[in-house]
Amino acid sequence: MCDSRGLNMLATKQAKQRVILENILLATDFLPATNAAMSYAAGLARHFGANLYALHVTEPTNYALPPEMPTQMGAGMQTAVEAEKQGLREKLRRDFPGVTPKTIEAEGDVWRAVATAIEKYEIDLVVLGTRGRTGLEKVLLGSKAEEILRRVQCPVLTVGPDSRAKLGIQGKVASILYATHFGPASLKASRIAVSLAKEYQAKLTVLTVRPPERNETQTRLKEEVREACEEELRGLVPEDAQLWVTPRFMVEYGNDPAENILKRARREEADLIILGAHKPEGVGGAATHLPTATIHRVVAHANCPVLTIRS
């Protein structure tokens, strides 16, 4: 039907573990468009008592430009970055007393810098901000952002331009939407979804989206399939967790899972969407360019942050 009992038991076992955030990495270019991501990162750092690291990666100098341009551009860029750093410190001091980010400077490949920071500072969560609604090609760190999203071992919180500031400013999560297709990454995400719902005493909606029935035989089986899927969804939330969390289990049908997820998130007034992400596939670098339509659309159009967990 929906999945095997073995995977269900694995997810249930994982869901009993509490999520602990000790070190959070904010990947930033210190531009105003990333203020929302900064607020979310700081809000989570304050809630969990975590260390907050702000990573800024400088791209290598383009020596194809005229000789005088790199120096001029470098000086102007450095001045702008320093001004934005100061603005970040002042904003955090004003909105998040007690949260002081540790700034990390790096140069070169963005993914390598992020990976190095994750290992060196034992990062539990990476926070990224987005500028536009056309998918991950427009996220804060450019075309490398998808590589970060799909390759890092720890969860990634992506904050889009339409994300409300509730979590960032108030440090609260009242409603969580966890969407799963029962794959390994989504099952791994169940532990974090349940743990965060317990942590924040939030409403938890567990959703799966199936293709619509295409013939009369499938239609007759619709209710049976729905019941089986709902049972699988219930298995993702252990009984002891339901003493603190009252989840809703939903099975929806549609050809476009992203559309279902976005609509359900709006109806539930979700403060956080949680998804699983597949491992990168193909030749080196291909993960940056291969389409991942569901995650792209959800990240680009959600009015709340999206937390992705890689298998």
Dmax (CA) for the chain in angstroms is: 72
Q: Give the separation between CA 3 and CA 36, rounded to whole angstroms.
A: 37
297, containing H or E segment: helix 293-301
Total domains in the chain come to 1
Burial 220-246 (b: 16+ CB within 10 A, else e): eeeeebbeebbebbbbbbbeebeeebe
Residues with Cβ within 8 Å of residue 172, at least 6 apart in sequence:
166, 200, 271
Q: How confident is the model at residue 9 (pLDDT cuts 50, 70, 90)?
A: very low
Residue range 51-57: mean pLDDT, rounded: 89
Strand pairing category for 156-159 and 306-310 = antiparallel
**Based on C-alpha coordinates, what's the Rg of the chain?**
20
What are the pLDDT digits (tens) for 171-180? Answer: 578 999 999 8
Place of tokens 């070169």: 108
58 has pLDDT over 50? yes
Summary mean pLDDT of the chain: 75
With CA atoms as reference, report the closest residue to 95 among 56, 55, 140, 38: 38
pLDDT of residue 310: 79
- Three-point CA angle 288, 289, 290, nearest 5°: 105
State the CATH number of the domain containing residue 177.
3.40.50.12370
Residues paired with 58 in a beta bridge: 107
Question: What's the predicted TM-score (pTM) here?
Answer: 0.80
What are the pLDDT digits (tens) for 16-48? Answer: 467 789 999 998 766 655 677 888 898 899 889
- Please, are residues 118 and 126 in contact by the beta-carbon 8 Å criterion? yes
Supply 107's token pair: 């140069």
Residue range 288-309: mean pLDDT, rounded: 74
244 has pLDDT over 80? no
pLDDT of residue 101: 82
What are the pLDDT digits (tens) for 64-103? Answer: 445 554 444 455 656 766 676 676 667 667 767 778 888 8
Q: How confident is the model at residue 109 (pLDDT cuts 50, 70, 90)?
A: confident
Name the E strands within the chain: 23-27, 51-58, 102-107, 125-129, 156-159, 175-179, 203-210, 248-253, 272-277, 306-310
- As a whole-number percent, the residues of the chain with pLDDT over 70 amount to 63
With CA atoms as reference, report the closest residue to 274 among 151, 191, 199, 210: 191
Q: How confident is the model at residue 220 (pLDDT cuts 50, 70, 90)?
A: low
| Domain span including residue 249 | 5-310
Residues with Cβ within 8 Å of residue 204, at least 6 apart in sequence:
176, 178, 193, 194, 197, 237, 245, 246, 247, 248
9 CB burial (10 A radius; 0-12, 13-18, 19+): exposed
Place of tokens 């001091």: 93
Q: How confident is the model at residue 51 (pLDDT cuts 50, 70, 90)?
A: very high
Place of tokens 């076992």: 13
pLDDT of residue 39: 83
256 has pLDDT over 80? yes
Q: Give the separation between CA 123 and CA 146, rounded to whole angstroms.
A: 18
